[in-house]
Amino acid sequence: MQLITISGNCGKDAELRDTRDSKVLSFNVGVKNGFGKDAGSVWYRCSLWGKAAEAFSGSIKKGTKVFISGELTHDEYEGKPQFNVRVGSIDTAPRSEAEAVNSLRVSSSTWDATKDLNDDLDSDCPF
């Protein structure tokens, strides 16, 4: 398994879909790469599953700054590499000063898939 952490901006509004067993939120994240004349972008296709997908479905819009950690896989399509991230944790940055002030008043928009796992593991830990 390859894990990756990225921060970048969403290329378009996220799309929430139903699957047989769950929901999935799909979105693309562009990450700046290089400097000056050599600057470019690397695009990642991200998927967020389950309850977290529903929770973030309204907050990931075009231009939203996101911080993501997850499992990286890569494919090739028509000779071009494609990078896919199954999101394990996500955080969004406020888009304006007003949103920043409001985010201090409400609960954090961070979700961590390992939190539930860690809660389960702690209860059975013998030491």
- Tell me, what's the pLDDT at 110? 52
Return the domain boundaries, the chain. Answer: 2-123
Find the mean pLDDT for residues 85-104: 70
Whole-angstrom Cα distance, residue 23 to residue 80?
28
pTM: 0.72
CATH class of 2-123: mainly beta
Each residue of 24-34: pLDDT tens digit?
999 999 999 98
Residues 6+ apart with CB under 8 A from 119: none
In sequence order, the β-bridge partners of residue 45 are 28, 84
Q: What pLDDT, in 10s, does the model give residues 39-51?
A: 999 999 999 999 9
For residue 63, give the nearest of 89, 100, 96, 37 by alpha carbon: 96
* Lookup: tokens for 9: 């901006």
